[in-house]
Amino acid sequence: MWSKSEMSLSLLAAYDLGASPALLQTIYDQEHGELQSVFMADTRNKTVEKQDVQIQEDNWKEYLGQDKYYANFVVFFSDKVKEFGGPAAFERYVYSPTADGAYMAERLVAGVVHPLIQMGYATEFGSDAMVAQALAQTAVHEPINPEIFIWNSTPHDNDSNIKVSSSNPLSLFGVLQEAYASSIMKPVMPYDPNALIRKRTADTLTPARIVEIRRLTTLWGCTPAALTPATIAEKTRDVLFAATTLFAGTGKRGRAPRLDFFLMHVLTSALFVPHLLHALHSAEAKARLLNSYLASTLLTMLIRGQPRVDTGLLMSYPATPVPPSQRGSAKQSTAPTPAVFGRPADPEFANPWVVLLPHVLPARDAHTLKVFRALYFAAQRYGELPRGAVAGGDMRDIDGSVFARAAGVLVDVMGWVGPGEGQDEGSWDRSGLGWDAAWEAEDK
């Protein structure tokens, strides 16, 4: 898997949430040492070697999937961004006929969707330089198995009679419910606690599961003709709700919450689906982005043991999280304060995001901040939605408070590390929490 420091993403996320210049400088100083040379030819052996290759329009597809050509791709795509503009270059080299045979759409959602996340930051913050970097990152990734994507099926496949239809589409939650009900979409057994992600993926992608992922993707009805502005708004809303429930609603009742490292990336990438859709011009490109996001999410669920979403569990978490030192009725004064409106110490009067932010901004774990930002973004758009506003599957009991509840779980798991609490840093779960056997270990 291609990997470079995510320092620029951490800085942008912190900046957007109001980090001070001193904190931004500290993040830079701490993460700067993790930067790798753009000429890194072999990450494992730390081999740095500049490649004497000029990538051009007529040969760029010859160098795909090879880390050592990253710098060469940056030069090539920088020129193309200058020629076409950032959004147009993104669409041209990922979704247009120019990219035929390059599997760029499949590479964009590879590597725990890091290329998509990089492109998301680029489009959100309007950085042409980052568009070129994101295209280069996409180019050097190995694609997810192309066969799971509906546009790569052939007349010889078992699903050749499946047609993408928008006449009676399911909601995204309906599709996930179908995935849970499918006899084919069961995780690989027996559970192997030591299996690496590459092996889990290879073992998961049997011919039957590949066809089933394609079938489930078609049920969402993301055809170019169906993608009206209203439909796009509905689907992007559902992406953020679904990603949040997968992130924070897949634990077990009576057990300490666990947050899966890979499902976490489903959420951090969901933040950028609206920005990427806005950057794309053609309906065909928009449909391919949405369908690839769903297919990769269905695969991620499988390789994490197909964890079930428990919306009741997620809605049982506090809508206004309280720091550990202030929990308990004796410590939460509800007495009025003469100079203010309401009761500032009462959680009912508190802004959950203001409570949580001091424990997120300075967190050393870079993903904590990015997850928080995705949840905060979703809450700004959908935080006031009442129960029943989001339909399909088991979502009838969910309302807009789900994002604040998930953010509270995030900080409970990753640590109330800020002023007044100073907890130790928590950790992401990599056990594969969809398998019951992964829960046999005691809670930490």
Query: Is residue 1 situated within a structural domain?
Result: no
The total domain count for the chain is 2
Query: Is residue 58 situated within a structural domain?
Result: yes
Q: Is the pLDDT of residue 332 over 60?
A: no
Looking at the fold, whether 135 and 55 belong to one and the same domain comes out as yes
Which of 9-23, 26-40, 54-68, 160-174 is least confident? Answer: 160-174
Looking at the fold, whether 354 and 243 belong to one and the same domain comes out as yes
Looking at the fold, whether 96 and 202 belong to one and the same domain comes out as no
Q: Is the pLDDT of residue 108 over 90?
A: yes
Confidence of residue 330 (pLDDT cuts 50, 70, 90): very low
Q: Which two tokens stand for residue 104?
A: 């760029």
Residue 18 dihedral angles phi and psi, to the nearest 5°: 95, 20
Confidence of residue 42 (pLDDT cuts 50, 70, 90): confident
Looking at the fold, whether 86 and 178 belong to one and the same domain comes out as no
Rounded alpha-carbon distances, angstroms, from residue 165 to 81, 143, 218, 220, 274: 35, 26, 7, 8, 22
Looking at the fold, whether 139 and 167 belong to one and the same domain comes out as no
Q: Are the beta carbons of 238 and 362 closer than 8 angstroms?
A: no
Helix segments in 271-365, DSSP class H: 273-279, 283-303, 311-316, 352-356
Asked which of 143, 173, 202 is the last residue of a domain, the reply is: 143
Task: Report d(CA 399, CA 213) in Å as an integer.
Answer: 28
Residue-wise pLDDT for 18-39, tens only, equals 999 999 999 999 988 778 888 8
Residue-wise pLDDT for 390-440, tens only, equals 877 677 889 999 999 999 999 999 999 999 999 999 999 999 999 999 999
Query: Is residue 2 situated within a structural domain?
Result: no
Q: What's the pLDDT score for residue 331?
A: 53
Place of tokens 């953020």: 240
Please give the residue range of the domain that contains residue 278: 147-444
Q: Which residues contact 84 (CB under 8 A, 6 or more apart)?
A: 92
Looking at the fold, whether 423 and 387 belong to one and the same domain comes out as yes
Looking at the fold, whether 78 and 170 belong to one and the same domain comes out as no
Query: Is residue 346 situated within a structural domain?
Result: yes
Query: Is residue 323 situated within a structural domain?
Result: yes
Residue-wise pLDDT for 260-300, tens only, equals 999 999 999 999 999 999 999 999 999 999 999 999 999 99
Query: Is residue 29 situated within a structural domain?
Result: yes
Query: Is residue 318 situated within a structural domain?
Result: yes
Looking at the fold, whether 123 and 233 belong to one and the same domain comes out as no
Looking at the fold, whether 136 and 249 belong to one and the same domain comes out as no
Q: Which of 405, 95, 401, 382 is nearest to 239 (CA)?
A: 382
Q: Which of 92, 109, 78 is nearest to 297 (CA)?
A: 109
Asked which of 119, 143, 167 is the last residue of a domain, the reply is: 143
Query: Is residue 198 situated within a structural domain?
Result: yes
Looking at the fold, whether 128 and 178 belong to one and the same domain comes out as no
Looking at the fold, whether 155 and 123 belong to one and the same domain comes out as no
SS3 string, 56-110, reads: CCCCHHHHCCCHHHHHHHHHHHHHHHHHHCHHHHHHHHHCCHHHCCCCHHHHHCH
Asked which of 107, 126, 143 is the last residue of a domain, the reply is: 143
Task: Report d(CA 441, CA 444) in Å as an integer.
Answer: 9
Q: Is the pLDDT of residue 345 over 80?
A: no
Looking at the fold, whether 71 and 174 belong to one and the same domain comes out as no
